């Protein structure tokens, strides 16, 4: 009973500390808005400021940046993702050792890697981040990536018979000029 009481006291103390921190932040924000009217230090309005940085979509990165990002992603795929999360390769769980040659796979893996970087950092996501990453990012990505009709559909379904086929891109027609659609 005494241990439960001490645990409860510690929890309440933690909440009180968080409340104090949040109150300070709210007051700082309120002061900033009141004194600057929502403007930056140089009098710029919010619309004139530089846009917030957004995560890169790897397929749109220029040559050198793409290469550097792909290299970092490859290390994560090789050292963490595949050894930890990829089980047996089969017709229902395909894989391609040359995954970087499949744009859809690169895009999905990169997005999952970006989420992993953020959600495994307790300073940005708290202690539940890894659980959120597994549920919201890893599991759906693996289901799509390794599906029988996914980007590796023409690749390895049996490790004893390695295969690599990049599937052709389906045709896309141009919208006719003057079309209102």
Q: Indicate the domain borders of the chain.
A: 58-145
How large a percentage of the chain has pLDDT more than 70?
70
Mean pLDDT of the chain: 82
- Please report the pLDDT score of residue 125 as a whole number: 84
Asked whether residue 27 carries a pLDDT value surpassing 70, the answer given is: no
- Please report the pLDDT score of residue 96 as a whole number: 94
Most confident of 7-21, 34-48, 124-138: 124-138
Local confidence band at 104 (pLDDT 50, 70, 90 cut-offs) = very high
- Please report the pLDDT score of residue 44 as a whole number: 46
On whether the CB atoms of residues 45 and 38 are closer than 8 A, the answer is yes
Distance (Å, rounded) from C-alpha 60 to C-alpha 165?
23
Most confident of 13-17, 29-33, 73-77: 73-77
Alpha carbon of 93 to those of 88, 90, 149, 161: distances in Å? 7, 5, 10, 14
- Please report the pLDDT score of residue 48 as a whole number: 47
Question: What value does the mean pLDDT take over residues 115-138?
Answer: 93
Q: Which residue has the higher pLDDT, 126 or 130?
A: 130
Question: What value does the mean pLDDT take over residues 60-89?
Answer: 95
- Please report the pLDDT score of residue 39 as a whole number: 43
The tens digit of pLDDT for each residue in 30-49 reads 566 565 544 444 444 455 45
Asked whether residue 127 carries a pLDDT value surpassing 70, the answer given is: yes
- Please report the pLDDT score of residue 179 as a whole number: 75
Distance (Å, rounded) from C-alpha 120 to C-alpha 23?
27
On whether the CB atoms of residues 112 and 141 are closer than 8 A, the answer is yes
Burial annotation 99-126 (CB, 10 A radius, 16+ → b, else e) = beebeebbebbbebbbbbeebeeeeebe
């Amino acid at each position: 009973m005494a241990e439960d009481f001490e645990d409860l006291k510690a929890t309440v103390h933690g909440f009180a500390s968080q409340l104090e921190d949040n109150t300070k932040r709210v007051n700082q924000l309120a002061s900033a808005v009141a004194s600057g009217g929502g403007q930056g230090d140089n009098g710029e309005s919010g619309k004139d400021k530089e846009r917030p940085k957004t995560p890169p979509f790897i397929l749109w990165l220029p040559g050198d940046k793409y290469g550097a990002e792909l290299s970092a992603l490859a290390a994560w795929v090789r050292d963490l993702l595949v050894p930890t999360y990829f089980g047996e390769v089969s017709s229902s769980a395909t894989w391609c050792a040359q995954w970087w040659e499949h744009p859809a796979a690169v895009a999905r893996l990169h997005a999952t890697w970006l989420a992993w970087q953020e959600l495994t950092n307790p300073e940005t996501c708290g202690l539940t981040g890894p659980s959120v990453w597994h549920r919201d990012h890893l599991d759906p990505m693996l289901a799509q990536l390794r599906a029988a009709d996914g980007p590796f559909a023409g690749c390895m379904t049996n490790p004893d018979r390695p295969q690599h086929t990049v599937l052709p891109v389906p045709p896309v027609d141009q919208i006719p000029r003057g079309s209102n659609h």
